[in-house]
Amino acid sequence: MTDSTAQAADLLKVLNRLIEVLRQEIHMLQQMDPAAMQTLQHDKIVLTAAYESMLTKLRSDPQGLRDLPLGMRQQIMQLTGTFQTTLTENARALFAVKEANDRLFRAIVQAIEEKRKEGQPYSAIGGTGPSAAVRGGQPLAVAIDQRF
């Protein structure tokens, strides 16, 4: 097995694993389970770095790529296409969750603003009513941690 063939075989293994991780993340996003996604982040970062490094190394030796068996080159092209498709699906899923969270956040802020205008501000424990501290027209500051 030549050096390029061994590198290509390693690239295929990393690509397969990266696709698997991205698909798991998509599933977790669909299940609205961001806490579980945290378990994948380390693998995703390590695999992405390995993929980029391996791809750069293979591209730096065009003759080595040409010398790969035809089946292996086809497999790399096919798997790279699958990776690109999965990456696009992953980006869409991340965007959809972000948009849903943004809409929820805006709805919460709007509800708080409406209650404040009605003279029923939220209290420190989240309720409304006479025990709630009136803010007297001061701007409302709300922050949310938007990490995935």
Band of pLDDT at residue 134, cut at 50, 70 and 90: very low
Mean pLDDT of the chain: 82
Burial class (CB in 10 A: 0-12, 13-18, 19+), 14: buried
> Could you report the per-residue pLDDT of 57-91, keeping only the tens digit for each?
888 888 888 889 999 999 999 999 999 999 999 99
pTM above 0.75, yes or no: no
Does an H or E element contain 63, and which? helix 62-66
pLDDT of residue 129: 52
Chain mean position to CA 48: 13
Q: DSSP label at 130?
A: T
* Residue recorded with tokens 């698997």: 20
First to last CA, the chain: 42
| DSSP state at residue 128 | B
Label residue 126 left, alpha or beta by phi (over 0 means left) and psi (-120 to 50 means alpha): left
Nearest by Cα to 10 from 29, 1, 22: 1
